[in-house]
Structure 1
Amino acid sequence: MESVITVPKEIIGQASFATKEVLSDRLEIERRRWYLQKALSLGNLFRHKVTITYQLYDGIPQRVVTTVWAVTERYVTLKGGRVIPVHAIREVEL
């Protein structure tokens, strides 16, 4: 089983994210979009933190626990202005 390191949101800006889509199934991609929208609602309404697992350029997964402030087609903005490309996100845990 692959171990995933939890990192502080402050180092997100230093990461080199995967450049290609990390999910292979269309249903998984749609599910990720739904969870991101739900995380956005929870973050804006209740300041609720979520866990986002993403993949780096070299294939190593990392996770961050933070509040989602904005979601676009291409990017997720976290508290503190940190940004993660949507295609690099593997999982969102509410």
Structure 2
Amino acid sequence: MSIQIIEKERIGEYKIVPAEVDNTAALYGKLRSAQRLGNEFKSKTTIVFQTEDGPKRIETTVWSLTERYIQIKNGILIPLKSIIKVDF
């Protein structure tokens, strides 16, 4: 499967939808680490999430994490149930 890389500033151009499998529980610890990396070390995280047009990949800093969303730059929220993969 080919995953298109997009600029995080272009997320608004896509409709984010839930992934085929909800990975929230499995990825939560990794997302918490990604938030810490972003806040303390300004380190970026690669996030793959599902859109109506297929999976998209961004490289970004995770600013905050709630039970349902991650927040990245410019107040953009990505639902946890849409996230497919997280890498540092």
Same fold, TM exceeding 0.5? Answer: yes
Q: CA deviation at 1:71?
A: 0.7
The alignment partner of 1:68 has SS state of coil
Match status 1:73 vs 2:67? yes
User: Residue 49 of structure 1 contacts residue 65 of structure 1 at CA under 8 Å; is this kept in 2?
Assistant: yes
**Structure 2 residue ranges without an equivalent (≥5):** none
The alignment partner of 2:24 has SS state of helix
User: Residue 12 of structure 1 contacts residue 83 of structure 1 at CA under 8 Å; is this kept in 2?
Assistant: no
1:43 maps to a residue whose letter is G
Percent pairwise identity:
36
Distance 1:21 1:63, change over 3 A: closer
**Residue matched to 2:82:** 88
**Structure 1 residue ranges without an equivalent (≥5):** none
**Residue matched to 1:56:** 51
CA distance in 2, matches of 1:63, 1:13: 14
Q: CA deviation at 1:32?
A: 0.7
**Residue matched to 2:30:** 35
**Residue matched to 2:5:** 6
1:3 maps to a residue whose letter is S
CA distance in 2, matches of 1:61, 1:67: 19
Q: CA deviation at 1:31?
A: 2.3
Supply the RMSD in Å over aligned alpha carbons.
1.5
CA distance in 2, matches of 1:73, 1:22: 19
Q: TM-score, normalised by structure 1?
A: 0.84
